[in-house]
């Protein structure tokens, strides 16, 4: 489905975003699970997403990760990107978003979320 948005309308909406929240698997990674010889899971992150996080921060937008996965890999990536708000093992993503918005004293209407799976539907709505 293609949604047509006028440029001025898009810029106006984006200017209101104070918080960008992302899922991890399939969004910040390619969605694959890679196993090394010892059976440990590895994930592949894209450096371009790291640059996007940096640019968002420079624009005054706070960043957060909310994921159902529990992984040291996610924690390491969030630390490297200096993402303050990190929630792993979170099945109630909406509640975590409310907590972050409360901490930042902003409305959820001033946040944007990107996810890719059925467990992201609640927070997207």
pLDDT of residue 4: 75
Taking all residues of the chain, what is their mean pLDDT, rounded to a whole number? 93
Q: What is the DSSP string of 7-68?
A: HHHHHHHHHT--EEEE--TTTTB-S--EE-TTS-EE--B-HHHHHHHHHHHHTT-EEEEE-S
7 inside domain: no
Note down the domain range covering 94.
15-124
- What separation in angstroms does the CA of 117 have from each of 1, 5, 69, 75, 91? 17, 24, 13, 21, 12
* pLDDT value at 61 more than 80: yes
The neighbouring-strand residues paired with 64 are: 21, 85
Within-domain flag for 94: yes
- Domain assignment present for 87: yes
Task: Report pLDDT digits (tens) over 73-110.
Answer: 999 999 999 999 999 999 999 999 999 999 999 999 99
- Asked whether residue 3 is assigned to any structural domain, the reply reads no
CA distance 110 to 17: 5
What is the value of pTM for the model shown? Answer: 0.87
- Reply yes or no on whether the pLDDT at 1 is more than 70: no
Over residues 17-53, the pLDDT tens digits come to: 999 999 999 999 999 999 999 999 999 999 999 999 9
Domain assignment of residue 20, yes or no: yes
For residue 31, give the CATH number of its domain: 3.40.50.1000
Provide the number of structural domains found in the chain: 1
Residues 18-28 have pLDDT tens digits of 999 999 999 99
């Amino acid at each position: 489905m293609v949604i047509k948005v006028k440029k001025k309308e898009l810029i106006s909406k984006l200017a209101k975003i104070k918080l960008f929240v992302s899922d991890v698997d399939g969004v910040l990674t390619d969605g694959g699970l890679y196993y090394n010889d010892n059976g440990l899971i590895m994930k592949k992150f894209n450096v371009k997403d790291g640059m996007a996080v940096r640019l968002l921060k420079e624009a005054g937008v706070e960043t957060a990760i909310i994921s159902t996965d529990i992984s040291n890999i996610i924690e390491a990536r969030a630390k490297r990107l200096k993402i303050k708000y990190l929630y792993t093992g979170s099945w109630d993503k909406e509640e975590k978003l409310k907590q972050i918005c409360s901490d930042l004293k902003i409305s959820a209407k001033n946040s944007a979320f990107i996810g890719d799976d059925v467990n992201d539907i609640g927070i997207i709505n």
